[in-house]
Structure formats: structure tokens, C-alpha cells
Amino acid sequence: MNGKTLMYILKRIGMAVLTIFVVVSFTFWFMQLIPGGPFTSEKSVSDTTMAALKAKYGLDKPLFIQYLIYIWRSFTFDFGLSMKQIGMNVDDIIANGMRYSFPMGLTATVIALTFGTFFGSIAAVKRGTWIDHVIMIGSSASVAFPSFVIATFLLYFFALKLGWFPTDYVNGGNQAFILPVITLALYPSAYITRMSRSATLDSLGSDYIITARAKGASKTRVLFGHVMKNSLAPTITYAGPMFAGIITGSLVVEQIYQVPGIGRAFINSITGRDYSLVMGTTVILTDLIVLMTLVSDLLYKVVNPRVELE
Amino acid sequence: MKIGDKLPFPVSLQVDYDRPSIYHLDDYGKETKEASKDEKAAQQKMRPSTSFFRDSVKRFLRNPVATTCFVIMVLLILTVIIMTFVDPYKYDHQLTLDAYDASYNHLFPFQYSDTEKALIAQGQYVFPHIFGTDDLGRDYFARVLCGTAVSLCVGFFAAAIVLIIGSIYGSVSGYLGGKVDLIMMRIVDVIYSLPDIVLIILISVVLHQVFLTADIGIFTKLGSGMVSIFIVFALLYWVGMARLVRGQVLSLKEQEYVLASRSIGGSPWFVIKKHLLPNSMSVIIISAGLEIPSAIFTESFLSFLGLGVNAPMASLGSLASQGENSMKVYPYLLFIPALTICFIVLCLNLIGDGLRDAFDPRLQR
């Protein structure tokens, strides 16, 4: 690792910290817009109880001091107690949600990568034939389907009409996760298919492929040894942000399939003004996205050494 | 031959520049004839000159998929406009309350309520409920029409916001260059790396809560989802456009005509407005066009989460969301708006792809 690379990494880490800072600050000040507080409810609470509650969660301090505490906590991952779910630690709530969201996101990522590269490469190799057309039409259509449409359609046909899959995600076992995972994987699969098709086409047209073929390397060997090696680069770098995107984007899918994942925790936390949980989920999701982007950018350099870092 | 000498052949003072000269000095004195039409045509080797725009349109029209989608979209928009006037039912009108006839609720497509059946028996014409009615006895076709119009408008306006902010920011940054450019682009970098979904949800949930208690005129009417989409597009999504425009401006500002314009005293704003923006217009408009389906997508997704337009207004997403509640019994209430969204987004995506292929000469194969 030379000085230039180190500088680049340091700069990127600085940017990542800045991004998290901006998101956390924005979250804090924006949440102040909502009328009422976390302890406003139909039941009237006596003034002393309210004061005690506010003191317990530090809401009695001046706004700016609250903000500083908020920032400090978001960088130390100490989110404290939830303000709405009594006696629950925010870290525990997030961990509970992740127990569902993480495996779902990971499976969907793996499926998307496998199918995407497979179909993309086939479409490129068979360019202009009916196979290519079918794959490209399929991927254009999948990109146009919002996830809630796919989710409701799958739920309607396969769970309600045909009864193939259970819909209870707490006790349903692994089978219950098949439909949500398919829903989550469809859009990224289609995206990777298109990306990998154009990367493979680029690679197929290069001089070194012609050289390899001229030297007598078989078609299979050229495809797997030469073409794939280069066409996989963009896909690999896309995988990290995609994984983060699937986890954050899973909230609609979790809402429809009633999966108690992190996405639902996030929405509930904002509507309930559960400040500590909002902070926890926002920081975790932002960290995830920023970290994955950082890793993928660095990975891009490893995969493709010709790229100059700036 | 000196100046002032009489010319050896008659010269008409009226020179017809459009007509090819048929007199040559060599031919002086000889009998000359104007070339026949065929001979002229044989001389014409150049094809008529075309502008970049016309050329691109021609390329676009040669793409059958994109052209079909374009025609379909135009027809769809026309249908929405015309049918809104033709359809006697209004999107927020509860037919049930007119005649206190509960059979108006949950009609299947092309079914009639008891009141309407009686009218038909009397020989009156009753406009059919093309998509049936919903749980409150509102004509579903009228609601889908309203939803389609709302979704399309959201798409166009969001794209317009991106177009305006992105192109102004990008062109200023690219044109001024230096330190200003550096700072402006660092801001873009930070915004670019913000997690959009997290912020969209945050903004729309907060606005939803605000609008529930406070009445802020037109904004409350539009609904939190719509306003937050506009805010999010104005806050976050213009950065891609800004980068694109900056790149265009950077390459264009080195051109001679820009130097010429500056040397005769053109102010930066004048140069940007007069030279740089018009020349990068096609690229800008196409990538703004690609924002339209993305905005429609986002709006439907927010509406589906219940953060969209306020009832009784309808967007395709909110219709699908309501349809999902009763999808076991009345699946068409979900399927019609859901498929409409897919159809519109698919068409717009294909049109966008076609336009990009047609207008971006670098991609020509």
C-alpha cells in the first residue's frame, strides 16, 4: 500500500464520517418538527410524571445539549432505552429486527448475484437471438414492477390462492421466507442481468479475447477465464451497496408480509416519536450503506488495478 | 481585361443565386442549354443536410419498441384527459349516498346497482362502472383515472425540479471552476452518499405527522407523500443531474465559440444561458426524463405505506394500498392500479432507453 492509496482511504473514511454526521443531524432537527413529544398520548399524564419521564430520557435539557448527546451516542453506538417499548434496549430491538432482515437480505443478494450474472452472460453470448430477447424483456419488465406489486401478487397467488407457503414469519420456519426473498431479489437480479450483459459485451469485443481465441483457447475457456474475469468487476462492486439497499429497502416487503424486521421497527419508531429508536435505526442503516459503499469502492480498486484513485 | 471594360457577355444585374450557373466562360459563343431535370438530379450527390435533433428523432423512430411505447403513452395521457370529462362519475363522489342504496358498494366491473338496474329497466342509459366500485361506492374507473393523472403529474414535476436545480447548479459549478467548483462538488459528493430511502421515509413520516395536526393550505391538500417526494427530489436527487451537466459544461466551455462570446463581453450567466445549456440540452432532458418513472415509483411506494396523498384524493399507490386490504375478496381493486403503475413505468423506461440510444451518439453501434 503506497501513500496515495492510504490518503485515498483516509479521505474516504473522512467522507463517511461526514455523511453519518449529516444524516444524524438532519434526523435530530427534522424530528423536532413533529408536534407533541414521545410521551404525548390519549391518556393524560400528570405534570410531575411528565417531568420525571423527560428527566429520565434527558429531554429536559436544552435542545442543543440534547443534540450533542445525540451525536455522541450515535458515534458510540450507545442508543439507550427505547422510549416507547418499555424496558427494551434499542440495541436489542435492532438486533431482533436484524435477525429477520439480515438473513433475508443476504439470501436475496446471493440469489440476485447468481441469477443476474448467469442470465446476463448468457444474453451477451447469445446476443441477438431469441434467448437474448427473452432475457432482456424479462429484465425490463422486472425493473418496472414496484416491490409492493410483486409482493402482493406473490402473496395473493402463492400464499392465499394456492396455499403453498405459510404466512406466519415468527413460527413459520424457513419456508415462510421464500416469498419475501424472491420479492427482494427480483429487482437486483434484473439490474445485475443488464449490467453484466453490457459488461460481458464490452469484454467480448476486446482485443485480448480475439488474441486468446486466435491462440486456440476454447470458447468455454475464453468465456470463463478471460471474459468473466473482467465482466464480473462491476457486479462485484455493486454487491455491497446492493446488500445495504436490500436491507433498507425491505421495509415495504416487511410491511406486506408482516415480517417483524428492521424496516418495520424503523417506520414504527418515527411514527411513535421514539427518539432513541429512530436514532438507532437511522444510524445503523446509514452506517451499513456508507460502509458497504466504502468497501465496494476499495474493492473496485483491487479488482481493477488500472483505476486511478483520486 | 481591365476594370471598367465592357464585359464580353451580357450580365444580368439580378443574380439568381439559387439557380446553378449554366454559363461558363469556355462555353461563350456556343449554344448552351439548361440541364434537364434528370441531369441535375444526377449531379446531386449530397443528401439534404439534417440537424442533430432531426437525426436523433429519425433514429428514435427506427426503434420499434420505443416508438410503440411513446404512442401508447400519448394515447394513455389523452385517454385520461378525455375520459375525465366523459366519465359522469367523480373520483370522490360516493354513489351510495345519492340514493341510499348499499348495493352501490363493491360492484364488480360492469355490474349495476339496484337503483341503476331499475333505471335500465325503464329504458334509461346508465354509464357503466368500467372497473366497478370500491368499498364506499365510489366509481373505481374515475378513481383510477384520477390516480393515473396524479402519478403522472408527480413524475413530471419531480423531473422538472431535478432538471432546474441540477442544471443550474451543475452549469455554475462547471463554468466557474477552481475553488468554487471544488467546494460545490464536495457538497454534491456528501449529498450523493446520503441514504435516500432512509431520508425519504423519515421526511414523509415527519411531514405526515405535521400535516395531521397543522393545516398548511395547498400542501395539506397535496398530502405528505407528494410534498415529501418533491422535497426529496429537490434535496437529494438533483445531484446526479448536477454532475452530468457539470461534465457537459466542462467539455463545452473550452470550445472556440464560448471564448469568442466571452471575449466580446458576455457575462458568465449569459454564456451559460446562451451557449452552454442549449448545447447540452438533449443530454439533460433525457436524463430528466429517466427521473419520471423513478419519481412515480417512489410516490407509489410511499402511498402504499400510507404516507401518500390525502383521501379522498387518489394516486395509483394509495389505490393499490387500499386494494390490498380487501384483496382476498376483491382482487381487482388491487390489480388494476398495480398493473397500471407497472405499465406506465415500463413504457416510460423503454421510451427513456430509446431516447438515450437515439440522442447519445457515443452509444451508436
Query: For B154-192, what is each residue's pLDDT tens digit?
Result: 888 888 888 889 888 988 888 888 888 888 888 888 887
Would you call B338 and A152 a contact, using CB atoms and an 8 Å cutoff?
A: yes
* Cis peptide bond upstream of B20, omega within 30: no
Torsions phi, psi for B112 (to 5 deg): -120, 150
- For residue B364, name the pLDDT band (cuts at 50, 70, 90): very low
What is the structure's pLDDT at B23? 53
What is the structure's pLDDT at B9? 55
Helix ranges (DSSP H) in B87-139? 95-99, 114-121
Angle at the Cα of B188 (from B183 to B193), degrees rounded to 5?
130
Residue B61: alpha-carbon gap to chain centroid? 17
What is the structure's pLDDT at A274? 77
Identify which has the larger pLDDT, B260 or A303.
Answer: B260
Contacts of A26 in chain B (CB under 8 A): 199
Diameter over CA atoms, chain A:
86
Question: What is the end-to-end Cα distance of chain A in Å, rounded?
Answer: 15
pLDDT of B89 > 80? The answer is no
Cα gap B301→B112, rounded to integer Å: 33
- For residue A36, name the pLDDT band (cuts at 50, 70, 90): low
Q: Average of pLDDT values for B327-355? A: 85
DSSP letter for each residue of A159-196: IIIS--S---TTTS-GGGGHHHHHHHHHHHHHHHHHHH
Contact B271, B262 (CB under 8 A): yes
DSSP SS3 for B200: helix
Torsions phi, psi for B138 (to 5 deg): -95, 140
For A65, the grid coordinates are: 445539549
What is the structure's pLDDT at B11? 52
Distance to chain A for B346, nearest Cα, Å = 5
pLDDT of B14 > 50? The answer is no
pLDDT digits (tens, 9 = 90+) for B269-326: 888 788 877 777 777 877 888 888 888 888 888 887 777 777 677 888 888 888 887 7
Helix ranges (DSSP H) in chain A? 3-31, 47-56, 63-76, 90-125, 130-144, 147-154, 178-204, 207-214, 219-221, 228-249, 251-257, 262-271, 275-303
- For residue B29, name the pLDDT band (cuts at 50, 70, 90): low
pLDDT digits (tens, 9 = 90+) for B212-259: 776 666 666 666 667 777 887 788 888 888 888 888 888 887 888 888
Q: What is the mean pLDDT of chain A?
A: 80
pLDDT digits (tens, 9 = 90+) for A127-184: 888 888 888 888 888 888 888 888 888 888 887 777 777 766 666 666 777 888 888 8
Q: Say if A74 is an interface residue toward chain B (CB within 8 Å).
A: no
- CA A6, A8, A11, A13 torsion: positive or negative? negative
Q: Which residue of B has its CA nearest to A151?
A: B324
Torsions phi, psi for B305 (to 5 deg): -80, 0
Among partner residues B195, B305, B350, which is closest to A289 by beta-carbon distance?
A: B195
Q: Average of pLDDT values for B321-349? A: 84
Residue B336: partners with Cβ closer than 8 Å, 6 or more residues away: B131, B140, B144, B319, B323
- For residue B20, name the pLDDT band (cuts at 50, 70, 90): low
Whole-model pTM: value is 0.76
Angle at the Cα of B170 (from B166 to B171), degrees rounded to 5?
120
B329, burial (CB in 10 Å: exposed 0-12, middle 13-18, buried 19+): exposed
pLDDT digits (tens, 9 = 90+) for B111-128: 777 777 777 778 777 777
Q: Average of pLDDT values for A32-53? A: 68
A126-130, A226-230, B99-103: range with highest mean pLDDT: A126-130
pLDDT of A208 > 50? The answer is yes
Q: What is the mean pLDDT of chain B?
A: 78
Among partner residues B193, B305, B345, which is closest to A19 by beta-carbon distance?
A: B193
Distance to chain B for A274, nearest Cα, Å = 12
- CA A55, A56, A58, A59 torsion: positive or negative? negative
Cα gap B47→B58, rounded to integer Å: 15
Would you call B209 and A271 a contact, using CB atoms and an 8 Å cutoff?
A: yes
Contact A147, A188 (CB under 8 A): no
Which of B63, B199, B206 is best to mutate for the A interface (most A CBs within 10 A)?
B206
A56-65, B22-31, B175-184: range with highest mean pLDDT: B175-184
Q: Say if B227 is an interface residue toward chain A (CB within 8 Å).
A: no
Q: Which residue of B has its CA nearest to A294?
A: B193
- For residue A38, name the pLDDT band (cuts at 50, 70, 90): low
Cα–Cα distances (Å) from B231 to A27, A147, B136, B216, B226, in that order, read: 15, 23, 32, 15, 9
Identify which has the larger pLDDT, A84 or A199.
Answer: A199
How many CB pairs below 8 A link A and B? 120
**Interface predicted TM-score (ipTM) of this complex, two decimals:** 0.75
Angle at the Cα of B153 (from B148 to B154), degrees rounded to 5?
100
